Structure 1
Amino acid sequence: MSAPYAKEQSIAIAAVLKASLVAGKVQNELIGTGGVKKADKSPVTVADYTCQALVSSLIFSHFPEDQIVGEEDSSELNTPENAQTKTSIMRMANEAMTEVLTGDEEAAWADVKSVKRGEQDWLNIIDRGNSVGGPSGRHWALDPIDGTKGFLRGGQYAVCLGLLVDGKVVVGVMGCPNLPLDPKNPEGEKGAIFVAVKGQGAFQRSLTSPELTPIRMSSLSSLSDASFCESVEAGHSDHGTNARIASILGITKSSTRMDSQAKYCSIARGDGDIYLRLPVSETYEEKIWDHSSGSLLVEEAGGIVSDMNGKPLDFSIGRTLKGNKGVIAAEKSIHAEVIKAVQQALQEAKA
């Protein structure tokens, strides 16, 4: 008898794998090694829409009754200024249908590949990611390219896909094309896929081999030995308060800063220990596609993920985490102490 959500895990891996390979191709062809000017977001636009189209097509092929809460819709693609971008998206999507994966991953795509799709077909598939989510039913939360600025600068980004059943995350798969497979060998093989199913543990694999390797968060003998993992962009998290929290906890190691849900992947396998995302705006609401797959991965790797007040993240409300403020992830034995330090630092900031 197969494990719960075995098919969902398999299809999610096949979807994220193909999307990760396409995203890497877009990055190499349209950006290169030097990055692009911040004003030119066309490469990430091509990758975002192409990956959403591909992932959505596979999900709906195997689970036609499911819904997708996706980040993108195609409305902007039908404007004259985006004509070339739309052409690139269609080319990349159709080329992806001709590229062959291996084994089970390729078999998963057989029905999708058997259908010839035109421009409007791909646009319709993109727009099927318009679910509002909610507390009942099956919803896939999809962020086709998480970490826009990382993608544009040639740094870290992630393809993120999580399955929510009745508002609870039960499957999470993330592809990180630029993350070293072995953190101890940063110049070695790049590209990792991270996999978690509720109650079944956390795993990592390469982009080229289906073998899943178990991962766990680091066990710390002292909080002072911990290290933070936080956003590169100051606009995404309060770096000043983060530094004060480190001081309260006696942490002296420099923070590791990277874009995207790759931070969740990094701490889940022990590269870092604490992920802090403190709000920089009173009104900002975190999106469910930015945290669903990553939070499950950390929890299955031995951690706790909550908001800055220690409340569990509530994915049942809709497209955002409107019931939560901020995100804190840490190994189980230190999470409560981290929350205390966060509260102390926030109170000091108000004084």
Structure 2
Amino acid sequence: MPDLDARLSAARLAVTDAALVCRSVQADLASVRAELKDDRSPVTVADWASQAVVVRRLYRELGEQTIVGEEDAEALRQPEQGALREHVLRAVRLVWPEAGMDEVLDAIDVAGSGARPRAEGFWTLDPIDGTKGFLRGEQYAVSLGWIEGSRPRVGALGCPNLSSDFERPFDAPDQHGIVFWAAAERGVRQAPADRPGASAESLQVEERPADDPPRVCQSVEKAHSNTGGTARLMEHLGIDRHAALDSQAKYAVVARRQADAYLRLPTRRGYSERIWDHAAGSLVASEAGCVVSDVRGRGLDFGQGRGLDANLGVICASERLHPALLEAAALLGLDREPPEA
């Protein structure tokens, strides 16, 4: 069985491959839309291509693996999708030059909706987290995590448009991007997303001054979190600075102290967050010294299947701010299930 170092190395390589593929598709949004006559087609191409190259890299480095995700290739195999298949194959061949169509489709199916978590460990993948950010040319992420028991042990988070310059606006894509990777109790490393052989650097965290007003990350898409509850919580704590961006890039932004917290409050009763939406990002943040929990202060439990069924929402914050956020959430009743719609 591969050890943690082998898994960590493979995860970095896989996510870097996927980031290169996604950047290539995003750079050609207009022509893909024109050829396929569908405004969402570029993210569809990138989603499938990203999944294929991640699976191929993990199998190449580690042998056969269990990989849990959302998408399989059933729709892509349909006879009328010939043009879409060709675009996916073209994107994949950027990092997998010898790929054939059947190989690509089979690779996509490995991480499809039929894959099930295994007690001895499994990968969970979101090949493009933040699809609307991708389509806007803004922030999105490739997220890959290795789960053992109920916790992520390895995580790689590709943020192809995130800049190392904290002053660069989130809606201004960076020409290099960043890949972050972490293993439990080993810290976080990073490298440019566009240079597979680039030297890795440890993520050096500089705590923000105590008198610097806190800054909170929120989702661009209002349906992803209880924005009204977030506004009440921020008002209660006197926080008026926030940044909106898509995807698990928010975890990276908090991890490197560009912001102090990321809040994802439940929007409806009975909803469970998906494991692939949090595995890699939560590990990167916690290994950078942040505290990640649900709104009741419980650690995220990745051992419940495909969802975080034992948790309610997510709070990721600096050690200094996290207790105040939990206290405010309880006081405002945000630690309870939302009422029936």
Report the TM-score when normalising by structure 2.
Answer: 0.88
- Give the C-alpha shift of residue 319 in structure 1: 1.1
Aligned pair partner of 2:201 in 203, 207, 212: 212
- State the shift of 1:150 in Å: 0.2
2-structure distance, mates of 1:243, 1:226? 14
Mapping of residues 77-92 of structure 1, within 5 Å: 77-92=76-91
Q: 1:339 to 1:183 in 2, by over 3 A?
A: same
Match of 1:324 in 2: 311
Contact kept in structure 1, 2:182 and 2:287, CA below 8 Å: yes
Say yes or no: does 1:343 pair with 2:325.
Answer: no
Matches within 5 A, 1:188-207: 189-207=175-193
1:145 and 2:145 correspond: no
- Secondary structure at the counterpart of residue 75 of structure 1: coil
The answer to whether the 8 A contact 1:146-1:157 is kept is: yes
Deviation at 1:65, TM superposition (A): 4.1
Match 1:228 to one of 198, 201, 216: 216
Partner of 1:112: none
| Closer, same or farther: CA 241–50 of 1 in aligned 2, 3 Å | same
State the alpha-carbon separation in 1 of the partners of residues 90 and 177 from structure 2.
Answer: 24
Q: Secondary structure at the match of 2:258?
A: coil
CA distance in 1, matches of 2:307, 2:237: 30
Partner of 1:244: 232
Q: Is the 8 Å Cα contact of residues 66 and 138 (structure 1) preserved in structure 2?
A: no
1-structure distance, mates of 2:199, 2:335: 49
Corresponding position of 2:282: 295
**Rounded Cα–Cα distance in structure 1 between residues aligned with 2:270 and 2:39:** 28
Deviation, structure 1 residue 217 = 6.6
Equivalents in 2 of 1:195, 1:117: separation in Å?
A: 27
Q: Which residue of 1 aligns with 2:116?
A: 132
Residue number in structure 2 paired with 1:278: 265
Q: Secondary structure at the match of 1:339?
A: helix
Deviates more, 1:167-176 or 1:182-191: 182-191
- Contact 2:152 2:184 (C-alpha < 8 Å) held by counterparts: yes
Look up the equivalent residue of 2:6 and give its one-letter code: K
**What letter is aligned with 1:94?**
R
**Residue by residue, what CA displacement relative to the aligned partner does 1:40-98 show, whole Å, maximum 9, x if unpaired?**
21110100000100000111122224310122111111234433212211122123223
8 A Cα contact 2:134 2:140, kept in partner? yes
Unaligned runs of 5+ in 2: none
Once the two structures are TM-superposed, the CA of residue 300 in structure 1 deviates from its matched residue by 0.6
Secondary structure (helix, strand or coil) at the match of 2:94 reads: helix
Distance 1:117 1:347 in 2: 49
Which runs of structure 1 show a deviation greater than 4 angstroms over 4 or more consecutive aligned residues?
185-189, 347-351
- In the aligned structure 2, how far is the partner of 1:42 from the partner of 1:203? 33
Distance 1:145 1:348 in 2: 29
Give the equivalent residue in structure 2 for 1:107: none
Which amino acid letter does the alignment assign opposite residue 266 of structure 1?
V
Whether the aligned pair in 2 keeps the contact of 1:173 and 1:196 (CA below 8 Å) is yes
Identity of aligned residues (%): 39
SS in 1 for 2:93: helix
Gaps of 5+ in 1: 99-115
Tell me the CA shift for residue 284 of structure 1.
2.3
Q: Which AA in structure 2 matches 1:216?
A: V
Task: Verify the 8 A CA contact 1:181 1:189 in the aligned structure 2.
Answer: no
Matched, 1:256 2:240: no
User: Which of 299, 302, 307 is equivalent to 1:312?
Assistant: 299
Do structure 1's residue 46 and structure 2's residue 32 form an aligned pair?
no
Secondary structure of 1:91's aligned partner? helix
Partner in structure 2 of residue 103 of structure 1: none
Q: 1:44 to 1:76 in 2, by over 3 A?
A: same
Instruction: Measure, in 1, the Cα distance between the counterparts of 2:50 and 2:249.
Output: 17
Which letter maps to 2:8?
Q
Aligned to 1:16, the other structure's residue is in SS state: helix
1:90-123 C-alpha deviation (Å, 9 max, x unpaired): 122123223xxxxxxxxxxxxxxxxx44222211
Matched, 1:22 2:26: no
Between the aligned partners of 2:323 and 2:153, the Cα distance in structure 1 is 24
8 A contact 1:16–1:159 mirrored in 2: yes
Amino acid at match of 1:133: P
Distance 1:144 1:347, change over 3 A: closer
CA distance in 2, matches of 1:347, 1:285: 15
Alignment-derived partner of residue 182 in structure 1: 165
Secondary structure of residue in 1 paired with 2:266 = coil
Shift of 1:210: 2.2
What is the match of residue 102 of structure 1?
none
Confirm or deny: 8 A CA contact 2:224 2:267 kept in the other structure.
yes
